[in-house]
Amino acid sequence: MSEHEPNSAPEAGSPSAPAEKKEPKVIKRYTNRKLYDTVESRYVTLDEIAQMIKGGAEVKIIDNRTKEDLTSVTLAQIIFEEEKKRSQMPLGVLREIIRHGGEAVAGFYAEKAGTLVGKVAELKSKTESIREDLSARMTGIFRKPEEAVDELRGKVDSAVKQALDVLGPAAKAEIERLQKRIQELEQKIEQLTKG
C-alpha cells in the first residue's frame, strides 16, 4: 500500500530504539480505517491496541493524511467495543457520561476507588487479626512449633487468596507488602523455636 512508509519504523539495533521506549508507539489510521503500527510495521486491530495498553504501552493514534491526533477517539472506540463484550458499566453511568462527559466517568471510578479502600481496610483488619492470633499462639508454639507454623501459614495463604479474589490487581502492592511482613513474622517464629 502506498499510504504507509515501511521505513518509518526504527531498526532493532539502531541507536534510536532505546529512546523509543519513552515515546508513545505511533499508530497511523488510514482513510480505509485500517490501523498501522509504525514500530512493528504491521496492521493492528482495536483489540491488539487494547492489549498493548493493558500491557503498559503508551500509544498515539494519528490520522495519516491530516496528522490529527485520534488517540482519545480511538480509545473511546476501544472502551465501547469492550463494553459491548461484557457490559459491566451500569446504564445510569453511561447516561451520565452522555449528559456530563468525563465528570461522570471520574465519579464512577471514584466510587470504585472508595470500595477498594474499604476492601484494603478489611484486608488490614484480617491481617491484624492474624497477627493477634499469632501472639496468642506464641505460648503454645514451643510444644509443637512446626504444626503451629504450618497452621498459621495455611490461614495466611487462605486470607491472602480470598483478598486477591475480592480486590483484583488494584491492591497488589498492598498485598505484597503485607505478605512480606507475614514472612518476616514467620521467620521470627522459626528463630524463637530454634533458640
Please check the confidence at residue 31 and state whether its pLDDT lies above 60: yes
Q: What does the pLDDT read at residue 26?
A: 94
- Using the structure block, give the residue that is written with the C-alpha cell 509504525: 38
> DSSP class of residue 6?
G
Q: Quick one: pLDDT at residue 139?
A: 58
pLDDT in tens, 80-116: 888 777 766 677 766 767 776 666 666 666 676 677 7
CA angle at 100 for the pair 99 and 106, rounded to the nearest 5°: 130
Kindly state the cell numbers that stand for 74.
480511538
- Is 33 exposed, middle or buried (CB count within 10 Å of its CB: 0-12, 13-18, 19+)? exposed
Give Dmax over CA atoms of the chain in angstroms: 80
pTM check: above 0.75 = no
Domain ranges of the chain: 6-88, 105-194
Higher-scoring residue by pLDDT: 43, 85: 43
